[in-house]
């Protein structure tokens, strides 16, 4: 029993993630897509929780669901969906897509094949109530401070850029 339950969780969450992801890209209605995307993200948060990475799980939910998808919805709601649904849904780049997807598939297959023995299903990490919040903080703010700050600078630049672009449009 002790060994079945975790993998059961894993499979349930994995199914949820995969199914939601497929449904996300096949919905014609953008809002429905976002809802399925939320379901995918919730599944990923569940996987984090499954790995006893509670902090990551909570942050996943706050940032991705509470922040990013909410902004997605914000934008989508302003767009006239009836008109958008009539537009062509696919960009018509079939050949490039097939080549890229094939390459990716081959790559993944190769590595899975090569590393088959090192591959195992995710087991929960050691005991709960580990202070992984502190561990993450130490990693981010002490061990990898410079890359972390660089990344935040990059995001800041992107943010300012977005604001400038949006402002220009208004005038």
Residues at the interface with another protein (CB under 8 A): 1-2, 29, 31-32, 35, 38, 54-55, 57-59, 61-62, 65-67, 69-71, 73-74, 77-80, 129-133, 169
Q: How far apart are CA 85 and CA 72, in angstroms?
A: 17
Residue 116 or 166: which CB sits closer to another protein?
166
Instruction: Give the shortest CB-158-to-another protein separation in angstroms.
Output: 18
Instruction: Give the shortest CB-103-to-another protein separation in angstroms.
Output: 32
CA 66, 72, 74, 80 torsion-angle sign: negative
**Six token digits for residue 109:** 């297959």
Instruction: Give the shortest CB-102-to-another protein separation in angstroms.
Output: 33
**Six token digits for residue 72:** 């997605």
Residue 107 or 130: which CB sits closer to another protein?
130
**Six token digits for residue 35:** 């809802």
Q: How far apart are CA 11 and CA 122, in angstroms?
A: 10
Q: Which residue has the tokens 């940032």?
A: 63
Instruction: Give the shortest CB-150-to-another protein separation in angstroms.
Output: 20
Residue 14 or 72: which CB sits closer to another protein?
72
The string of DSSP letters for 23-86 reads HHHH-SSHHHHHHHHHHHHHHHHHHHHHTT-HHHHHHIIIIIIIIIIHHHHHHHHHS-HHHHHH
Instruction: Give the shortest CB-67-to-another protein separation in angstroms.
Output: 7
Q: How far apart are CA 100 and CA 103, in angstroms?
A: 5
């Amino acid at each position: 029993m002790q060994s079945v339950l975790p993998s059961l969780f894993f499979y349930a969450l994995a199914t949820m993630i995969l199914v939601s992801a497929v449904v996300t890209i096949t919905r014609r209605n953008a809002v429905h897509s976002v809802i399925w995307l939320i379901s995918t993200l919730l599944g990923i948060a569940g996987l984090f929780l499954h790995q006893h990475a509670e902090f990551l799980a909570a942050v996943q939910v706050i940032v991705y669901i509470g922040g990013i998808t909410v902004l997605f919805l914000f934008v989508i709601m302003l767009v006239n969906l009836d008109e958008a649904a009539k537009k062509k849904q696919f960009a018509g780049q079939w050949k490039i897509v097939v080549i890229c997807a094939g390459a990716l598939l081959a790559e993944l297959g190769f590595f899975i094949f090569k590393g088959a023995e090192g591959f195992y299903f995710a087991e929960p990490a050691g005991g709960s109530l580990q202070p992984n919040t502190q561990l993450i903080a130490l990693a981010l703010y002490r061990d990898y401070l410079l890359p972390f700050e660089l990344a935040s600078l990059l995001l800041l630049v992107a943010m300012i850029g977005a604001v400038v672009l949006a402002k220009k449009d208004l005038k």
